[in-house]
Structure 1
Amino acid sequence: MVPNKTYFKNKKLNNPNDGEFSHVPGSKYKGEWKNNKKWGFGTQTYRRGDVYEGEWENDRRSGKGTYYVLKNKKLSKEYAGDWLNDKKDGLGVFIDGSGNKYEGMWVDGLKHGEGKLVMKNGETYEGEWNEGVKQGLGTLTLENGDQYVGSFAGGKKEGPGRFFYYSTNKVYEGEWVDGAPKCGEFKSMPPRGGGTSETFLLPSLSLSDAQSVLSSAVAEVRQDRASRSGGGDGAFNEKDLEQIKLAFNSFSNNEGMVKIMDLQGLIESLGLNVGREDLDALLERIGAEADDDLTYAEFVDIVVVISGGV
């Protein structure tokens, strides 16, 4: 440890709360002190030349602060925002050595919560993060303008999502597994002035009940995902799915859908008990209206929730 004349002079004068003190050779702190610890506002210059300027508590970076890195004899801002116990924690902006910029929430030094990442090549992701990886709902916009809007898990596309191919004016809507499309529909995008999209049909394929087949495939994908992730009660066995599908078909209309108004009776036919208030709360949570139709895949998700799977 290198002695510091200013620090010891202040200490003799009963004023150790402001001054400079070098903890290790080449490092220096200038700022406020409390109980002989960095506490308040101060600037720390590290041995390799990096600098932190901001708030401290109990000898650790805590509060608002900015961290600069020394590169080519020039200081560049790397992170500005909230800190807790020497780690990024709260709202902050981070720019890495490649020029990629993240602005959003942090927990324990990792991206966590809502945030936006802008890559140097123009690609962006805006949405939810969990322990440093994309997790939850988000929007990924590629360098060429194509865009994915949907669910992520473990940093990859996983679950329901839409991929917009703006160069061809088409959109894929369906389930994604491990970053790749698993089953869904390929449609033309609605015109800019509004209107509805039209299904883009492949001439070599024709199904008499396409919606029912698609819903069944989506339900199987979701159940397989629940099994792989250790979903426990959230995943049904083959016999359970067969019973659920038979009940659904008995209530479905010609389009292979079930009206929301028939949902209570359908649930009760499976031997499940759910109060009207609880069911209404669930429907409000998923944004369903009284005159909406439910697909088989959506019904399976509802049964998972009601049976305590999530």
Structure 2
Amino acid sequence: MDNNSNYQQEYSEHVYTLKNRTAPQKEQHWKINDRKAQKNGPHSAIYWVKKKQRNEDGSMKVEKWIANTKYIGDWKDNKKDGFGIQFYGNGDKYEGGWQNNTRNGQGTFWVCEGKNKLRREYTGDWVDDKKTGKGTMFYNNGDRYDGLWLDDKPHDEGRMIYANGDVYEGQWFVGKRSGYGVMTKRNGDHFEGHWVNDKREGQGSYFFALKNQVFVGEWVDDMPKTGVYSEVEDPYTVKPDREKHFTDPYILPNIPKIQLKNPTKVLQEAMENVRKQRTIYRARFIPIDELYTEEERLELYKEFAAACDDNRKVSVLGLNAILANMDFELTDEDIKDYLEKLKPENPQADIDYDTFARLIAIILEDKSFEQGQEENDQVYEDENEEDMQQYQNDVGQQYDNEDNEENSDIF
């Protein structure tokens, strides 16, 4: 009996253990597939697919899905990272550096121009999927740009070689020629000077290769406005003798010379008037970095930051307080007039730092023009006094000469 009792007890315990034993958990399929899809290190090729479009009758030939894009290269934490080659659905191709799933570092981008035909478009630096840094762009029209980039646009120093043979080398701002630059034409003509908003604006000189002449002066909207036009003396150029149409000797009568009384002053006033007329335009489009030095920008920002709100803007009333603190003696009407010229679309809106800095540039230019005008007026008055004194002396000398002639006749 005792043996039977022990056996039954052991059997019961064994059955209880089997009933309460936990079966091994089977991993879900989506977790297995997701783990397999996690990519780290180099991979030969990863494809992305898209649905194939149906025919007009609703049918679909062959597969339902077609390959769209492909990537070959390095991965990190399931993201493109390192060196890789991306083939896009439209046929374009990128080969170069990646970081956090975006193009970063050195890379080359090709555009598709037909079946199995790629054209290199850009080679250079990338930051967060944008051309930023140093790079070369080959445009579809044959132009080529070598230089610095910022957010997919030429910026800072760069050289553009145009398809027609012209070459521009100089400064750029957000994709436009701006600052100091040199344009050399294919025919030998040469411009050297300032650019604003992709056009020649301000001081500049233009050399005409065929005429061997040069214009130096102020440019407005890509055209010469006022300045000096003169011939360049070239000792190595031999001028051909012109055919003489009149061989008989001819003596010119004594014709007095006609010339400007003060040509330098006339030219200076004309150039100052041009600058005065273009003050608003140039202040609106010249980059802030070109308008001010780094120290001046820092001082301006301190004045602005002391009065701006959480949106980094100041009201018109706050602007009045800043200008008064900077010792600008301006009325409310003066400030209103400036804002209407600088922001004609909405002069009463709150003012950001960029608008504030450009407004200060306009005010300073006007103040400089007024001071220069006062100095010129004083110089003009002094010159008039000297001319009058000289005239009186000449008249007195003429009378003395006449008296001497009369006295000589008497004797």
Partner residue, 1:181: 224
Look up the match of 1:21.
46
SS in structure 1 opposite 2:188?
coil
148, 158, 167: which one aligns with 2:210: 167
Unmatched tracts of structure 1, length 5 or more: 1-7, 195-203, 253-310
Partner residue in 2 for 1:215: 268
Q: In the alignment, residue 51 of structure 1 is paired with which amino acid?
A: K
Q: Of 376, 385, 388, which residue of structure 2 is paired with 1:245?
A: 376
**8 Å Cα contact 1:224/1:235 also seen in 2:** no
Matching residue's letter, 1:219: E
The residue type equivalent to 2:363 in the other structure is D
Let me know the Cα RMSD of the aligned residues.
Answer: 2.7
> What CA deviation, in whole Å up to 9, does each residue of 1:126-178 have, x standing for no partner?
11000000000111122322111100000000000001100000000000011
User: In structure 1, what is the equivalent of residue 83 of structure 2?
Assistant: 41
Give deviations 1:64-86, integer Å, cap 9, x for gaps: 00001121331121100000111
Match of 1:55 among 97, 103, 115: 97
Deviation at 1:247, TM superposition (A): 5.1
Question: 1:13/1:47 Cα in 2 relative to 1: closer, same or farther (>3 Å)?
Answer: closer
2:39·2:75 contact (CA, 8 Å) conserved in 1?
no
Tell me the SS of whatever aligns to 2:142. Answer: coil
Number of residue pairs aligned between Structure 1 and Structure 2: 236
Unmatched tracts of structure 2, length 5 or more: 1-31, 51-67, 238-256, 284-341, 343-360, 384-411
The higher-RCO structure (CA 8 Å, 6+ apart) is: 1
Cα distance in 1 between the residues matched to 2:40 and 2:137:
34
When Rg is computed on C-alpha atoms for both structures, the one with the higher figure is: 2
Deviation at 1:211, TM superposition (A): 1.2
Change in CA separation of 1:220 and 1:85 when aligned onto 2, cut-off 3 Å:
same
2:406 alignment counterpart:
none
1:254-295 per-residue CA deviation (whole Å, 9 max, x = no partner) reads xxxxxxxxxxxxxxxxxxxxxxxxxxxxxxxxxxxxxxxxxx
CA–CA separation in structure 2 for the residues paired with 1:249 and 1:52: 67
- Aligned positions of 1:259-274 closer than 5 A: none
In 2, the alpha carbon distance for the partners of 1:207 and 1:86 equals 61
Q: Is the 8 A contact 2:39 2:78 kept in 1?
A: no
- Answer whether contact 1:61 1:83 (CA < 8 A) is retained: yes
TM-score of the superposition, structure 2-length normalised? Answer: 0.53
1:250 to partner: Cα distance: 8.1
Aligned residue identity for 1:66: T
Q: Does 1:235 align with 2:259?
A: no
By how many angstroms is 1:206 displaced? 2.9
Classify 1:37/1:205 alpha carbon distance in 2 versus 1 (closer, same or farther; 3 Å).
farther
Q: Partner of 2:86: helix, strand, or coil? A: strand
Hey, which of these two has a bigger chunk of strand by percent? 1
Which deviations, in whole Å up to 9, do the C-alpha atoms of 1:28-77 show, x marking residues without a partner? 11111111111111000000111000001111111100001121331121
Instruction: Tell me the percent identity.
Output: 36
In the alignment, residue 47 of structure 2 is paired with which amino acid?
Answer: S
